[in-house]
Amino acid sequence: MLLRSFFSGLAIGAVGTLAIEHDALAFCRSTTCTCTKDEALPQRNGLPQSTCGQATGECPRDEHGCKTSGIPVAWGASCIGFSPNLAGTSQLTADEYYASFDAAFQAWALADCGDGKHPSIQVLTLRPTSCAESDYNPGAPNVNSVYFTDNGWIEAKSPHELDSVIAKTKTHFVKTGEVVDADIAINSARHDFSVSDDPAAVNYDLISVMVHEVGHFLGLDHSDVPQSVMYWQYSPRTLNRVLREDDVNAICAIYPPAAAAATCDPTPKGGLEESCGPQPELKPGCDVAPGEGPNGILPVALTIMGVTALRMKMKRGRR
């Protein structure tokens, strides 16, 4: 089995970014195309550019920033599970960040695909574990982990990226495009997160960041629609927690409504891994929650779908 993985990112932008208008909604899907080498280039038409995404690059992108090669990725299971990391963060209470995680997954779960129907996959909150790394082990236990990195952000490729990257999702998939594992790492070592409903009291809104990350987790790439939660920039001191039309069209296209599966097993491939070290850090590559149900499943069932990573770059003005 050929296994691959990828990251994707989100840049931090100034409030009030310029809208990009076009006739069709422009959601993008993550694909199996990955780059072995990539370098940033100047923006064009308000979108980030890189050598990999050029017409002659390894993974060309169209005018909306969507990859034009590779197989679109998505989870193949009827339901999946994720596990928060036991270490948590010193910035928020366990109740606050657990509620934020649930709100982010629910934002996608409750997408209206028409006639009151929702995306056709279930996502459940599993028992918290000590795993705080982005890795996949074929034939061994695994965990789809969501974790903070209070003790240090080691994925930075330069001093600038220590502050520029606010979160990342790493997705592992096989050559058919089926996602087999995804992990979300939140850069709490360099950013202050809050969960207030008042934008004036927010620096980096955890729910907004998580909603974007969950989109990647479920298979979405960035959108060039500035109002969408999957837009490639996030403006600090703003709330962007509600899916827009572009986001809804994306998740409903990837996971069209269908009858609920007769059985649901959210256990990660190979079983649930619980022996990872407690140090929250993202390997290069790419307070316990209340009451458990059977097999370590918490009583929180969501219906959603998607994949990939969240990254944001610091900037002092619009680029």
Angle between helices 206-217 and 94-109 (to 10 degrees): 50
pTM of the predicted model as reported, rounded to 2 decimal places: 0.81
234's enclosing H/E stretch is: strand 233-234
Cα(315)–Cα(36) distance, integer angstroms: 26
Closest CA to 276 of 137, 132, 127: 132
Terminal C-alpha separation, the chain: 41
pLDDT per residue, tens digit, the chain (319 aa), is: 445 555 555 555 543 332 323 334 569 999 999 888 888 888 887 778 888 889 888 899 998 889 999 999 999 987 999 999 999 999 999 999 999 999 999 999 899 999 999 999 888 999 999 888 888 988 899 999 999 999 888 766 667 667 777 899 999 999 999 999 999 999 999 899 999 999 889 999 999 999 999 999 999 999 999 999 999 888 889 999 999 999 999 999 999 998 666 678 899 998 998 766 444 333 333 222 222 333 333 322 222 222 233 334 333 232 2
Cα(210)–Cα(194) distance, integer angstroms: 12
Half-sphere exposure of 125 (CA within 13 A, CB side): 23
3-state secondary structure of 163: helix
Cα(202)–Cα(67) distance, integer angstroms: 33
CATH superfamily of 3-18+25-32+72-303: Collagenase (Catalytic Domain) (3.40.390.10)
Q: Where do we find the tokens 């980030």?
A: 48
Cα(44)–Cα(182) distance, integer angstroms: 30
**Which residue ranges make up each domain of the chain?**
3-18+25-32+72-303, 38-69
